[in-house]
Amino acid sequence: GAGVSQSPSNKVTEKGKDVELRCDPISGHTALYWYRQSLGQGLEFLIYFQGNSAPDKSGLPSDRFSAERTGGSVSTLTIQRTQQEDSAVYLCASSSRDSSYEQYFGPGTRLTVT
């Protein structure tokens, strides 16, 4: 079946602009995660959605970052007033209880802030 998909695959933006990154999880997966992969910080957790529960936002690096998940499926990660240090690959993953919460990753969105 279809895996996790993310769009766009690449995004170049100017410092100070807002960006939106999209994630389509595997159908039926109740949990959705955003991670960031950058040269200096490795792979970092950003935010976690589980069903209808309030999201765990404890990994978001600043209040410029926000995410939402509509209808328990698609998620959007928004970065406001982008900075050069936001340049990274943003990864989305999804999981379900049926798969023992094994996380399946999307291909990522490479964000470059100029």
Partner 1 sequence: GNSVTQMEGPVTLSEEAFLTINCTYTATGYPSLFWYVQYPGEGLQLLLKATKADDKGSNKGFEATYRKETTSFHLEKGSVQVSDSAVYFCALLMDTGRRALTFGSGTRLQVQP
Contact 106, 23 (CB under 8 A): yes
Considering only CA atoms, give the Rg of the chain.
13
60 part of the interface to partner 1, by CB under 8 A? no
91 part of the interface to partner 1, by CB under 8 A? yes
42 part of the interface to partner 1, by CB under 8 A? yes
52 part of the interface to partner 1, by CB under 8 A? no
Alpha-carbon span 71 to 44, nearest angstrom:
25
C-alpha 52, offset from chain centre: 18
59 part of the interface to partner 1, by CB under 8 A? yes
Chain contacts with partner 1 (rule: CB under 8 A): 31, 33, 35, 42-43, 45, 48, 50, 56, 58-59, 91, 93, 95, 100-108
